[in-house]
């Protein structure tokens, strides 16, 4: 990985969920399925064939390639709506109910920023389509969300360049993580605790 290699948009979502998960996937190319990844893949099958259709005057592009040289990001959008009034509106498909999740929102914000750079046109809103409830959740692409995209992309780039895997979070996130078996968060947390205890004992003797 060099300073100029683009980062996949999906890495932002992985990093916000858990930096170690991001490292395992994008540094070590680890992959494992669980019920959540299987559901996610099933949802994306609906929109992973490139093409477009016109619905009530709105051009809807599927699997649209996206990039930003400025941000060093590359990926694709599930759907992008191009409205007759000039509104450009990305829609990301997710499995599950209508719940706000920062890791979904950051991926959408990064897509909106790529579209802005590609088209030279503001993209102030987008939506997450929650497949289980068949409901859309509109997301404002706020300056705070954009700043988070920039900072997260920088953190991921630094991690990929260093080649160092972040430590495990070992919390409730691990229960739903498909990489739990590969990651071994409890074993690593125990090892870190033992190291700390040994260090404390040693320093007490001094
Ligand atoms: S098991 Fe936990 S620490 Fe490991 S990658 Fe998944 S969420 Fe992160």
Spatial distance between the Cα atoms of 20 and 3, rounded to a whole number of angstroms: 20
Q: What is the pLDDT of residue 126?
A: 98
| Beta carbon of 26 within 6 Å of any ligand 1 atom | no
41's tokens: 């893949």
Q: What is the pLDDT of residue 179?
A: 93
| Beta carbon of 103 within 6 Å of any ligand 1 atom | no
| Beta carbon of 25 within 6 Å of any ligand 1 atom | no
49's tokens: 């064939």
Print pLDDT tens along the chain (206 aa). Answer: 777 899 999 999 999 999 999 999 999 988 876 666 766 776 666 677 888 999 999 999 999 999 999 999 999 999 999 999 999 999 999 887 667 788 899 999 999 999 999 999 999 999 999 888 889 999 999 999 999 999 999 999 999 999 999 999 999 999 989 999 999 998 877 777 788 888 777 775 55
On the 0-12 / 13-18 / 19+ scale of CB atoms within 10 A, 169 is middle
61, 48 contact by CB (below 8 A): no
| Beta carbon of 18 within 6 Å of any ligand 1 atom | yes
CA 192 / ligand 1 centre spacing (Å) = 15
Q: What is the reported pTM?
A: 0.86
Bridge partner residues of 51 (DSSP)? 62
Nearest-CA residue for ligand 1 atom 5 is: 21
Spatial distance between the Cα atoms of 205 and 82, rounded to a whole number of angstroms: 69
Q: Which helix (H) or strand (E) holds 76?
A: strand 73-82
Rounded-to-10 torsion of CA 113, 114, 116, 119: -170
Q: What is the pLDDT of residue 98?
A: 65
Which among 168, 164, 182 is positioned nearest to 30, based on CA atoms?
182
The DSSP letter of residue 166 is P
């Amino acid at each position: 990985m060099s300073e100029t290699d683009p980062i996949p948009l999906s890495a932002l979502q992985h990093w916000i969920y858990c930096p170690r998960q991001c490292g395992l996937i994008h540094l070590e190319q680890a992959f494992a399925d669980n019920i959540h990844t299987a559901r996610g893949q099933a949802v994306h099958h609906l929109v992973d064939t490139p093409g477009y259709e016109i619905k009530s005057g709105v051009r809807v592009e599927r699997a649209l390639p996206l990039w930003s040289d400025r941000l060093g990001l590359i990926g694709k959008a599930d759907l992008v709506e191009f409205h007759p009034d000039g509104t450009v509106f990305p829609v990301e498909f997710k499995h599950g109910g209508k719940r706000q999740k920062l890791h979904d929102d950051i991926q959408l914000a990064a897509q909106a920023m790529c579209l802005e750079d590609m088209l030279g046109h503001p993209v102030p809103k987008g939506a997450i389509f929650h497949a289980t409830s068949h409901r859309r959740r509109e997301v404002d692409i706020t300056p705070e969300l954009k700043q988070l995209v920039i900072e997260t992309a920088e953190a991921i780039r630094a991690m990929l360049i260093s080649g160092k895997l972040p430590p495990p979070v070992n919390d409730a996130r691990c229960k739903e993580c498909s990489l739990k078996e590969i990651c071994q968060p409890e074993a690593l947390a125990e090892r870190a605790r033992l190291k700390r205890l040994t260090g404390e004992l040693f320093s007490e003797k001094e």
